[in-house]
Amino acid sequence: MKDFTLIIGKNLNNIRKQKKLSLDKVAELTGVSKAMLAQIEKGASNPTVTTLWKIATGLNVSFSYFMEEEESDIFYISHHDIKPIIEDEEKMKVYPLFPYDSKRRFEIFTIELEPGCNHQSSPHNDGTEEYIIVTEGEMELVIESNHYKLACGDAIRYFANKDHSYRNTSDRKVSFQHIIYYFK
């Protein structure tokens, strides 16, 4: 099983050095404390989805930039080999399948929401699009004040530069494929 905690830490340190930023400056740009950033860089802390999004947005990189490893011609990974990123008191699990690649400008995740999960996502940069394909159960997607009910097999695309949330209002687990396309 891949230890994304170490990979995330290494990549945070790399982007910070590439941009010639101090931990203080990264904390200012992201709203994440200097102490937390230092722990993440050392691989001593596994950041939540919300924390990782704050860092990605503040540093103007993709979410899965932090999960990137060196690329080969074929990339195979079993769902069982991926250590999920846990959020919302273990009601949300994010499995990074295909991390962001600047040549392709997208990333793909499998996301599972347990009953009662209501995950609020901050707006992403302008031009960012999200695609959702529900593969199990039923969910509700809220984009600003618009509500969309999605059942197994349903799909939706939207610009993600607005407040949006993923909700499981059912009594069963929901699973969906989540593709994020970055304009720049």
In CATH, the number for domain 79-181 is 2.60.120.10
Q: From residue 51, how far is each of 56, 75, 122, 172, 183 by CA, in Å?
A: 9, 27, 11, 27, 22
pLDDT reading at 72 higher than 70: no
* Segment 82-108 mean pLDDT: 87
Domain edges within the chain = 4-67, 79-181
pLDDT classification of 177: cutoffs 50, 70, 90: very high
In CATH, the number for domain 4-67 is 1.10.260.40
**Is the separation of the CB atoms in 1 and 83 below 8 Å?**
yes
Among the ranges given (1-10, 31-40, 116-125, 128-137), the one the predictor scored with the smallest mean pLDDT: 1-10
Q: What is the pLDDT of residues 48-60, one digit of tens each?
A: 889 999 999 999 9
Between 2 and 17, the more confident residue is 17
For residue 73, what pLDDT is reported?
67
Rounded percentage of the chain residues whose pLDDT exceeds 90: 65
**Is the separation of the CB atoms in 44 and 73 below 8 Å?**
no
For residue 159, what pLDDT is reported?
96
Q: What is the pTM of this model?
A: 0.66
127 φ/ψ sector (left φ>0, alpha ψ -120 to 50, else beta): left
Q: What is the pLDDT of residues 5-40, one digit of tens each?
A: 888 998 999 999 999 999 999 999 999 999 999 999
* Segment 125-144 mean pLDDT: 96
pLDDT reading at 1 higher than 60: no
Rounded to whole angstroms, the Cα distance separating 92 from 94 reads: 7
